[in-house]
Amino acid sequence: MSRIRFYNTFSKQIETFEPIEPGKVKIYSCGPTVYSYPHIGNFRSFLMADLLKRFFEFKGYSVTHIMNITDVGHLLEDADEGADKLEEAARREKKDPLQIAQFYTDSFMAAAELLTMKPADNYPKATDHIDEMIAMVQVLIDNGHAYVVGRNVYYDVTTFTDYGKLSGNTLDDLNAGVRIEVNSEKKNPQDFALWKHDPKHLQQWDSPWGRGFPGWHIECSAMSVKYLGEQFDFHTGGEDNIFPHHECEIAQTEGATGKKWVNYWMHGRFLMFDGEKMSKSKGNLYTIQELIEKGFKKNAIRYALISSHYRQNYNFTFAGLKAAEQAIDKISQCVFTIKQKSKADSSETIRDEVTAFIDKGISGFDAALSDDLNISKALATVFELVKEANKLADITAAEATAIVAAIEKIDSVLGILEEADDSIPAEIADLAERRKQAKLAKDWAAADAIRDEIATKGFVLEDMPGHEYRIKKN
């Protein structure tokens, strides 16, 4: 078994992976703040976590994955003061914050399903875990990491010696660049809010410090500990989460438990669109649904978003999506052709050369992803396997089964092949076969009529070399 290695944002080094519990992996991912439609940039880091999780399952690990839903406390600009993103959306759309949260949670889930993201074991909502957050804040007050001013509670960053280690920020650097805050009740400029009092805030709860609402960072500390325990293997997010969000999460959780919390920190880099930064003003924050409406296939969107290394910026373009469609076609065409070819031969033999290229494909794919999820190298081994399979002039039934099984095993990680081949109804398959016979008999009129009949039933028949064909859902 090859060693699995990952880059750890905390140590800034490639490290060999050692699970806390043998055979098990626990992953916490910062999920969406549900105040607007999630866009392709958000999904790049969600899909990084999906790839990580699917890879561990491919390796035989049992994975527990938790992704939170932020529905309170995330202020604009990730700041400590200002409007709550949920509340701003509620005011803009003249709805209740909970309606806003439900609407955009549903939209996130629909997009996640389109992208065949494997569902997390749980999607805890911040507003369902106010008690757990209050309990953790109380521990931090009791042990001296936090202090109360009026009806606000702040974390004193000078009490946590590791503060700044994840992001590489030192308190001196941070203080040098700090804006003068109107709110001078904090002991240090970098102290952050754990609990806030604001009579104008639409969502409020009772607490030992009066009515108020939790800061954004405390939710991930409280919910991850509740569902994964005080120590777990992975914490993932986008690079914009590193500071302040994850830095503050570490200070809170380790401050409360006194233990090392997360072993490996994994962050996805930003997505660019057509060489530009994505932003609302540029109008290039595409949602998954918008791309599908433009005619792009959902599996091509997934392919494009996972096909470059997570620690590199990826330039998302429409041309790239087209290339992704072609890449997927290459793999599914190979599967289809192999199934067709093998029908002529029921032999159980598997030639050594076939076993050899299958093994090479699987082990190459495994080794590439074991190397800090090197997806480019992993995809290269897949296309090498496809190339070798396409070279076979004849093929036995047993070989076909073995090759298709290998490609499906690989696809349990990639998640890009649709089950089109298996979901073709027998009636359509019969029609396609009758059309092939008509063509062989040079009865072109009959062949065209059958093709049209297939089209009216919602399927497309594509001709391939050697009187072969493939059927796809329209």
Site of interaction with Zn ion (CB under 5 A): 30, 220
Note whether 396 and 338 are within 8 A (CB). no
Tokens 């290998």 correspond to 406
Minimum Å gap between C-beta 113 and Zn ion is 22
Minimum Å gap between C-beta 226 and Zn ion is 14
User: Which residue, 85 or 470, has its beta carbon nearer to Zn ion?
Assistant: 85
Minimum Å gap between C-beta 232 and Zn ion is 14
Distance, in Å, from the CA atom of 146 to the CA atom of 133, rounded to the nearest integer, reads 13
User: Which residue, 30 or 193, has its beta carbon nearer to Zn ion?
Assistant: 30
Which secondary structure element, helix H or strand E, spans residue 325, and what is its range? helix 318-342
Residues 6 or more apart whose Cβ sits within 8 Å of residue 410: 361, 362, 365, 382, 385
Residues 6 or more apart whose Cβ sits within 8 Å of residue 70: 30, 31, 32, 33, 34, 126, 216, 219
Residues facing 27 on adjacent strands: 65, 234
User: Which residue, 220 or 300, has its beta carbon nearer to Zn ion?
Assistant: 220
Chain centre distance of CA 261? 22
Distance, in Å, from the CA atom of 314 to the CA atom of 309, rounded to the nearest integer, reads 8
Minimum Å gap between C-beta 26 and Zn ion is 15
Torsion, CA 137, CA 250, CA 217, CA 44, rounded to 10: -160
User: Which residue, 30 or 115, has its beta carbon nearer to Zn ion?
Assistant: 30
User: Which residue, 220 or 392, has its beta carbon nearer to Zn ion?
Assistant: 220
Tokens of 264: 């490996």
Tokens 């998640």 correspond to 415
Distance, in Å, from the CA atom of 442 to the CA atom of 467, rounded to the nearest integer, reads 12
For residue 397, the one-letter residue type is A
User: Which residue, 219 or 372, has its beta carbon nearer to Zn ion?
Assistant: 219
Minimum Å gap between C-beta 99 and Zn ion is 23
Minimum Å gap between C-beta 5 and Zn ion is 25
User: Which residue, 8 or 221, has its beta carbon nearer to Zn ion?
Assistant: 221
Torsion, CA 420, CA 368, CA 9, CA 301, rounded to 10: -20
E strand intervals along 208-293: 213-214, 232-238, 262-268, 271-273, 276-277
Which sign does the torsion angle of CA 88, 94, 97, 103 carry?
A: negative
Q: On the CB side of 176, how many CA atoms lie within 13 Å of its CA? A: 5
User: Which residue, 220 or 327, has its beta carbon nearer to Zn ion?
Assistant: 220
User: Which residue, 30 or 400, has its beta carbon nearer to Zn ion?
Assistant: 30
Minimum Å gap between C-beta 245 and Zn ion is 5
E strand intervals along 362-436: none
Minimum Å gap between C-beta 266 and Zn ion is 13
Note whether 97 and 87 are within 8 A (CB). yes
Q: Quick one: DSSP state of residue 293? A: H
Q: Is the peptide bond preceding residue 244 cis, with omega within 30 degrees of 0?
A: yes
User: Which residue, 245 or 341, has its beta carbon nearer to Zn ion?
Assistant: 245
Minimum Å gap between C-beta 70 and Zn ion is 7
For residue 437, the one-letter residue type is Q
Minimum Å gap between C-beta 373 and Zn ion is 21
